[in-house]
Chain A
Amino acid sequence: MLWACVLLPSLALDAALRGQPSLDRPFALVTGPAQQRRLVAVDARARAAGLAPGQRLAEAEAVCRDLFAAEYDARATRASLKLIAAWAYRYSSQVLLDPPRAVILEVGKSLRLFGPWPDLAQRLREDLAQLGFAHRIALAPNPRAARVLAGIADGTLVESVDALPQALARVACARAGLPGNTVAALTSMGITTLGALFALPRAALQRRFGKPLVTALTVLLGEQPEALAAYQPPDRFAARVDLGCEVKSHQALLFPLRRMLGDLAAFVAARDGGVQRFVIRFGHADRSSTTLAIGLLAPERAAEALFDVAKLRLEQAQLPQPVLELSVHADELPPFAPEARDLLDQRSANALPWPQLRERLRARLGEDAVYGLRADPDPRPEQACVRDAVANTADSTPLPPRPAWLLSRPIPLRDFAPRILAGPERLETGWWDGDDIRRDYYVLELATGQRAWAFAAPGERGPFMLHGWFA
């Protein structure tokens, strides 16, 4: 067997940056609790400015004033690695995930399909460049050796087991993926290369470092196979991009969207399927979101085709607010063959489940006509009634009764002699977002017999502004 290791040396950076137009200033990813923010990864510009992973953010900013620092997103980085694995599945049925930043695939069998190694390697590199990942590729008779060699130099090629010891001899112990803390201990004894390590009696090594080191050596030299779990492609696709700033123009959304749909295309192609329906969700600053569901006439897997449809729909769509976050989901990934129907389907033709009914209503009445209501703990009435947003479970003190029907904006009350049933309830709050209110609210009975919720300026008993109706 022959194994190719695809190493992604700047995976975290690529995962963060490939959805974005290119930056013109040093960039770094940071993480850690408030008191000890540290750099996780730095780009070439930042490295040139003297920054390095592990450095404290405060120190880095002192050194490099125009540093652009973004939060390291471990989830996105892992998702990117999975994406690469899904892509690799296209070229091999045996794909191994080697976190944090390598994917290893068996290519011995693939060569028959894709031609000799140089041709296959070329294809792999082209794809990876397309997807936007920096990479190194090495080939070796076992996955572990391929991984180690990829870490040393791009393009290393060792095809026979016999050539392995010599190829590995000059590799530093520190870069050989040896278990746990053995590297530090080996180095402290003056044993710094694999060559020196190979020369030592295995019994003496086992006594000092235990079985794992010896096992690692035998695996590396191919004397013993390694039990590795093969990668299984998922049956749904989800990708998410944090835009880092509020994006208003559709044009600016197209760039990351194209990237994500490219990923989707790569994903479905790898599983030899297509996508017929996917959802694009635009997240806004207030945690609400706008979704755009896109259905196709038939399963599709060409990146450009997906993008064209999405672009058309996006141009028609109204985005109420600037966008902070973009995600693409595809749960239905049908094969090209049509799905078989269940002969014994017992559902009545008229009884539609709620989601479907909702979608029908939306289709008839318009997207905005159907929505849910939820009480928000914000003390300001305008903010307290939220349309169909993500459920929010903040604590709250109990409030006096609120009208079921709240006007979207208060209007002057035309009744001149309302009877005060309750109040005032004074609301003075909301200053933190610049939208401070100061009002005295009353429950009023109007001449018409209706019960109204209305407010006046603090300390005043009119004129009233009508804000809601009690049922």
Chain B
Amino acid sequence: MSAPAYAELHCLSDFSFGRGASSARELFERAKRCGYAALAITDECSFAGIVRAHEAARDTGVALIVGTEVQLADGPKLVLLAADAAGYTRLCELITQGRRAAQKGTYQLARADLDDGLPGTLALWLPERKPTREHGTWLRDVFGERLWLAVELLREDDDAARLAELCQLANDLHIRAVATGDVHMHARTRRTLQDTLTAIRHRKTLVEARGLLFRNGERHLRRRETLAAIYPAALLAETTRIAERCTFTLDQLRYRYPSELVPAGHTPTSWLRQLTEEGIRWRWPEGEPANVRAQVEHELALIAELEYEPYFLTVHDIVRFARGEDILCQGRGSAANSAVCFALGITEVDPARINMLVERFISRERNEPPDIDIDFEHERREEVIQYIYQKYGRERAALTATVICYRGRSAVRDVAKSLGLPLDAVNKLSFALGWWNGETPMDERLREAGFDPACPILQRVLRLTRELLDRPRHLSQHVGGFVIADAPLATLVPVENAAMPDRTIIQWDKDDLDSLGLLKIDCLALGMLTCLRKTMDLLRAHRRRDLTLATIPAEDPDTYAMLGRADTVGVFQIESRAQMAMLPRLKPRCFYDLVIEVAIVRPGPIQGDMVHPYLRRRNGQEPVTYPSDDVREVLERTLGVPLFQEQVMKLAIVAAGYSPGEADQLRRSMAAWKRHGNVEAHRERITQGMLARGYTQAFSEELFDRLKGFGAYGFPESHAASFALLAYASAWLKCHEPAAFVCALLNSLPMGFYSESQLVQDARRHGITVLPVDVRSSEWDCTLENGVRDNFMPAAPGTDHPGREPAPIIVPGTILAVRLGLRLIRSFREDVALRIHAARAMHAFDDLADLVGRAGLDARDRKLLADAGALRGLAGHRHRARWQAAGIEPQRPLFGFASPGEQAIAIKPPATGADTIADYAATGLTLGAHPLKQLRAQLRARHCRPSRELRTLPSGSRARAAGLVTLRQRPQTASGVTFLSLEDEDGMVNVIVWQALAERQRRVLLQATLLAVDGRWESADGVDNLIAEHLYDYSTLLGTLDARSRDFH
């Protein structure tokens, strides 16, 4: 007798966080093996995993039934299944209602929420251990013939008795009974992980939670033969009858763009055309070049064909709002760098300027939904978000979710805790296994950390960690991805509360949206845009110079010369140490070089070993060759070396015969291969395809390995182009308006790579006067004042960068100095600064008591000002300022603020070193002598040479240098090398520490604040490094200097 047909109607995937132990894919593959007719995914009050289930169902051919399990607060537990589209919509609304009524991660539903009977749904009643008859009668009244009683026989209690009891109950109440399995995992072997998840969910160890675990592993997709032995045939047959009634699939969902952006009398096509033509006249008042016109026509035709107009109109509307509010923004992404987007003001990348780029960004064959990310000033993005909410309403606009998954560290931590390992062991394990991918053997690492890999508990930890890795953990808010729809979103996808108040997210992430063809717009925050806007505001105020991103002079040789010297502190994207090491080698000479510069210093090209071949070819040290003309066409602009994600896809198409759609799949599997399956599956395909097209085995293997290393971290050319534009703009401003630029940078912190101290030192080395924080002239922000050239470092050309003399800085008109603002005082409040500013605007302060009285400063404010040295002008040195500031008594009605007649007390001023320490502690920087300058005599006695001297040494010399450690970096891509930056009074020394030395002198390397290095000085192509041979900890010389190192581990 063959096994009876069966459909499982009650099954949780791992998107029922802390309950389901198997992914939808595992469940569907098992259901297929067991020959199930259909599988319902009924995650608890959630559709977060339903798109993945839909994909798995499509791939396995087992029908998906969309459903959800809910526990009513005042009633029974139910499974609700979507029979048709109306039912699906109703369930989305119900889940939304339940989730919105409760805190993030929980839900609240009651009988009243089901009053309308949920048309279009089927309901399964999950009775308790002792069934409540009243639940049954109530449900029957609500659902009528759409109600079943779910009989779950799980070999926990006495199955025969349970079956008899429930059948009797069903009979009494005239409800049909059906077999369901309360499935929590695809196979019995997942039992241990399911137990572990249960313990984690209860925040207990397994031993503590032992009474809460399922007592057996029956809650899996059981074989039909097994079920036949447990359930009467009628109950099994009922499952397929129910499955047949559920005809809804996610393919029936129809998403529509918001339609209100098109005025009456226009179609989306005609309206986009009109806006584009207006934009063209704005961008090219004297008429557009012919190639631009052709490009625009080509793009508009394509957009019309793919019906993407509403998307461009939506983006345009958001950008138009930002522009109206004077919020700087910039679009990027595959569609952003088009002529249409330039005309609409979405991007500033002028297609005429980098014409060769544009053609590649939209292509008909690729049929990829347009993808535009918009960056906004980081301080003002919230205004944009509020605009979107206000314009479309909270029903129609929501943020997308990000699925937070278990990573090495979090997985091992939760597993080890649940197995009851002591706290310190948990920490050590999570450190040792922090970056584990679940595959490579970890025995060595574990032994190093003091564990015995063979011990059974550790084996359990490893096995469970491997199973838990990459499983979803909870939903979080995407940084800025918005979904906007024409109809309320809750009819399409459930919406729930995010952790932030007043934020709602949909239950799907961006891959889910991609999969269903829903479009999203990323509204991101970018610090550099804030800085650029502030710079341009300062220039308007102080220079009468009105610049925009589009009117900053293009292709300026001075700017490129500066970049070639790696003089890029503060410049967007190309200011990191790694970028600075690349700039003198690449020496960008035009905008496209910058696009490459932005993209090349990335893990992708580095791991794919593409950097050196590119540099050799660029410098003419290696011939530029192509294995075929097809490949030449793809790679010509990068000299035959693939650097961009788009090139990878194009190569797969022209060289390995992929269709555009398959190439897109390849890109996705490279980006998230855990979700879609292993990228190795493509190896065979690519090498075979290339061999068939006459490429050599070696070339195809090499290409594939590069693509693999490159894959996940590949940077798209379209993004690089937008970033390069901002890099260029910031570089131009740094080159030509350095005072305004650094002033704006300081006012936009925190952002970028450097601390305020490093920015100020760099500015002063460029001859900009920086004036201290002073209550008599500082505002909240840093400001520009008239000044004179600073003699902080008497710019002696030739000693700083021998042979690389800085270009003279052209300063038209007045010389500007930067006055540090009160915002630099740590923990000082902006409203207090504004009060000081307002009081000062009336008339200057007479003395401390006058300041305190008129600006209403409390003891804390006074202390912060005194500590920062901002009272110098009113009260003298720090000790005196603090003594006086503390002595002012609270206001009394008649006398105002006063320091009652006190006898003068002799207080000695602080020593220079103490003042320096206080400077750093209060503001993070000092304008006095650099600490290393103060220590120079002692350092000389220890044979340390200042960085200025190092730079005069021939390459290969041995030297000892000392400096404050401002950076300790051990990149994943650098196989154990640690990069250090040491700061002294003249600048930075870059130190490279090989792994062996780092191991040997671990303590000094990790702990020294002031570090001295014996090493070999290497200088080539304008890049200097000190290769460390021995390290010394000189921190004691510093006393308690508060110079904070920024560790990036």
Which among B206, B886, B918 has the highest number of chain A CB atoms within 10 Å? B886
- The reply to whether the CB of A346 lies closer than 8 angstroms to some CB of chain B is no
Chain B residues numbered 152-201 whose CB sits less than 8 Å from any CB in chain A = 155-161, 188, 191-192, 195
**B158 partner residues in chain A, CB cutoff 8 A:** 400, 422-423, 425, 443
For residue B128, give the distance in angstroms from its CB to the closest CB of chain A. Answer: 10
**B413 partner residues in chain A, CB cutoff 8 A:** 34
A379 close to B1003 (CB less than 8 A): no
- The reply to whether the CB of B129 lies closer than 8 angstroms to some CB of chain A is yes
A37 close to B424 (CB less than 8 A): yes
Chain A residues numbered 387-411 whose CB sits less than 8 Å from any CB in chain B = 394-398, 400
- Asked whether A426 and B129 contact (CB < 8 A) given A185-B882, A396-B211, A432-B195, the answer is no
Which among A57, A189, A378, A440 has the highest number of chain B CB atoms within 10 Å? A189
- Asked whether A189 and B907 contact (CB < 8 A) given A37-B427, A63-B1002, the answer is yes
Interface string of B844-886 (1 = CB under 8 A from A): 0000000000000000000100010000000000110011001
Of the candidates B218, B456, B879, B900, which one forms a contact with A434 in the assembled complex, judged by CB atoms under 8 Å apart? B456
B211 close to A426 (CB less than 8 A): no
B210 close to A394 (CB less than 8 A): yes
**A64 partner residues in chain B, CB cutoff 8 A:** 1003
For residue A192, give the distance in angstroms from its CB to the closest CB of chain B. Answer: 11
Cα distance, A428 to B214, chains bound together (Å)? 9
B195 close to A425 (CB less than 8 A): no
Of the candidates B212, B424, B908, which one forms a contact with A30 in the assembled complex, judged by CB atoms under 8 Å apart? B424
- The reply to whether the CB of A207 lies closer than 8 angstroms to some CB of chain B is yes
- The reply to whether the CB of A200 lies closer than 8 angstroms to some CB of chain B is yes
For residue A120, give the distance in angstroms from its CB to the closest CB of chain B. Answer: 41
**A185 partner residues in chain B, CB cutoff 8 A:** 863, 882, 886
Cα distance, A395 to B431, chains bound together (Å)? 32
Chain B residues numbered 406-461 whose CB sits less than 8 Å from any CB in chain A = 413, 419, 423-424, 426-428, 431, 456, 460
Cα distance, A139 to B427, chains bound together (Å)? 46
For residue B872, give the distance in angstroms from its CB to the closest CB of chain A. Answer: 15
For residue A421, give the distance in angstroms from its CB to the closest CB of chain B. Answer: 8
| Number of chain B interface residues as a range | 35 or more
**B155 partner residues in chain A, CB cutoff 8 A:** 424-426, 440
Cα distance, A237 to B610, chains bound together (Å)? 74
**B192 partner residues in chain A, CB cutoff 8 A:** 431-432
For residue B66, give the distance in angstroms from its CB to the closest CB of chain A. Answer: 29
**B905 partner residues in chain A, CB cutoff 8 A:** 200-201, 204
- The reply to whether the CB of A50 lies closer than 8 angstroms to some CB of chain B is yes
A57 close to B427 (CB less than 8 A): yes
- The reply to whether the CB of A208 lies closer than 8 angstroms to some CB of chain B is yes
Interface string of B890-910 (1 = CB under 8 A from A): 000000000010110101111
Cα distance, A249 to B889, chains bound together (Å)? 69
- Asked whether A188 and B882 contact (CB < 8 A) given A394-B210, A396-B212, the answer is yes
> Which B residue's beta carbon lies closest to that of A427?
B215
A428 close to B910 (CB less than 8 A): no
- The reply to whether the CB of B1006 lies closer than 8 angstroms to some CB of chain A is yes
**A415 partner residues in chain B, CB cutoff 8 A:** none
* Total contacting residues, chain A, CB less than 8 A: 47
A69 close to B878 (CB less than 8 A): no
- The reply to whether the CB of A246 lies closer than 8 angstroms to some CB of chain B is no
B215 close to A50 (CB less than 8 A): no
A-B pair count, CB < 8 Å, reads 130
- The reply to whether the CB of B887 lies closer than 8 angstroms to some CB of chain A is yes
**A424 partner residues in chain B, CB cutoff 8 A:** 155, 159
**B1006 partner residues in chain A, CB cutoff 8 A:** 59, 62-63
For residue A42, give the distance in angstroms from its CB to the closest CB of chain B. Answer: 14
Cα distance, A37 to B427, chains bound together (Å)? 9
- The reply to whether the CB of B1007 lies closer than 8 angstroms to some CB of chain A is yes
- Asked whether A208 and B160 contact (CB < 8 A) given A188-B879, A189-B907, A429-B215, the answer is no
Cα distance, A377 to B155, chains bound together (Å)? 19
Cα distance, A440 to B157, chains bound together (Å)? 11
Interface string of B203-246 (1 = CB under 8 A from A): 01011111111111110000000000000000000000000000
- The reply to whether the CB of A58 lies closer than 8 angstroms to some CB of chain B is yes
- The reply to whether the CB of A61 lies closer than 8 angstroms to some CB of chain B is yes
B211 close to A397 (CB less than 8 A): yes
- Asked whether A429 and B1007 contact (CB < 8 A) given A61-B428, A377-B210, the answer is no
> Which A residue's beta carbon lies closest to that of B1033?
A50
**A397 partner residues in chain B, CB cutoff 8 A:** 211-212
Interface string of A183-211 (1 = CB under 8 A from B): 00100111100000000110010011100
A432 close to B207 (CB less than 8 A): yes
Interface string of B56-92 (1 = CB under 8 A from A): 0000000000000000000000000000000000000
Cα distance, A189 to B1006, chains bound together (Å)? 33
For residue B153, give the distance in angstroms from its CB to the closest CB of chain A. Answer: 11
For residue A444, give the distance in angstroms from its CB to the closest CB of chain B. Answer: 13
For residue B429, give the distance in angstroms from its CB to the closest CB of chain A. Answer: 12
**B460 partner residues in chain A, CB cutoff 8 A:** 431-432
Of the candidates B195, B216, B918, which one forms a contact with A426 in the assembled complex, judged by CB atoms under 8 Å apart? B216
A204 close to B902 (CB less than 8 A): yes
Interface string of B1002-1038 (1 = CB under 8 A from A): 1100110000000000000000000000000000000
Cα distance, A143 to B867, chains bound together (Å)? 35
Of the candidates A58, A59, A208, which one forms a contact with B886 in the assembled complex, judged by CB atoms under 8 Å apart? A208
**A71 partner residues in chain B, CB cutoff 8 A:** 423-424
**B879 partner residues in chain A, CB cutoff 8 A:** 188-190
Cα distance, A37 to B889, chains bound together (Å)? 42
> Which A residue's beta carbon lies closest to that of B207?
A432
Cα distance, A261 to B795, chains bound together (Å)? 76
- Asked whether A34 and B426 contact (CB < 8 A) given A423-B158, A425-B157, the answer is yes
> Which B residue's beta carbon lies closest to that of A32?
B423
Which among B206, B211, B908 has the highest number of chain A CB atoms within 10 Å? B211
For residue B465, give the distance in angstroms from its CB to the closest CB of chain A. Answer: 14
B878 close to A188 (CB less than 8 A): yes
A207 close to B889 (CB less than 8 A): yes
**A189 partner residues in chain B, CB cutoff 8 A:** 879, 882-883, 886, 907
> Which A residue's beta carbon lies closest to that of B1006?
A62
Cα distance, A84 to B204, chains bound together (Å)? 38
B215 close to A379 (CB less than 8 A): yes
For residue B321, give the distance in angstroms from its CB to the closest CB of chain A. Answer: 41
Of the candidates A50, A188, A208, which one forms a contact with B1007 in the assembled complex, judged by CB atoms under 8 Å apart? A50
B211 close to A377 (CB less than 8 A): yes
**B215 partner residues in chain A, CB cutoff 8 A:** 379, 425-429
For residue B163, give the distance in angstroms from its CB to the closest CB of chain A. Answer: 12
For residue A206, give the distance in angstroms from its CB to the closest CB of chain B. Answer: 11
- Asked whether A190 and B910 contact (CB < 8 A) given A204-B902, A428-B191, the answer is yes
Cα distance, A377 to B902, chains bound together (Å)? 74
Cα distance, A378 to B427, chains bound together (Å)? 28
For residue A429, give the distance in angstroms from its CB to the closest CB of chain B. Answer: 6
Cα distance, A323 to B878, chains bound together (Å)? 60
A190 close to B211 (CB less than 8 A): no
For residue B932, give the distance in angstroms from its CB to the closest CB of chain A. Answer: 23
**A394 partner residues in chain B, CB cutoff 8 A:** 204, 208-212
B160 close to A34 (CB less than 8 A): no
B867 close to A429 (CB less than 8 A): no
Cα distance, A62 to B449, chains bound together (Å)? 10
24 pairs from A and B in contact (CB 8 Å cutoff) = A34-B423, A37-B427, A50-B1003, A62-B1006, A63-B1006, A188-B882, A189-B882, A189-B883, A190-B907, A190-B909, A200-B905, A204-B887, A207-B900, A208-B883, A208-B886, A377-B211, A378-B210, A395-B211, A396-B211, A397-B212, A425-B156, A428-B191, A429-B214, A429-B215
Chain B interfacial positions (CB closer than 8 Å to A) = 129, 155-161, 188, 191-192, 195, 204, 206-218, 413, 419, 423-424, 426-428, 431, 456, 460, 863, 867, 878-879, 882-883, 886-887, 889, 900, 902-903, 905, 907-910, 918, 1002-1003, 1006-1007
**Shortest 5 CB-CB distances between A and B: which pairs?**
A377-B211, A396-B211, A426-B155, A190-B879, A422-B158
Given contact pairs A185-B863, A398-B129, enumerate 10 new A-B contacts (beta carbons under 8 Å): A50-B1007, A59-B1007, A63-B1003, A185-B886, A379-B215, A396-B211, A425-B156, A429-B216, A432-B207, A432-B460
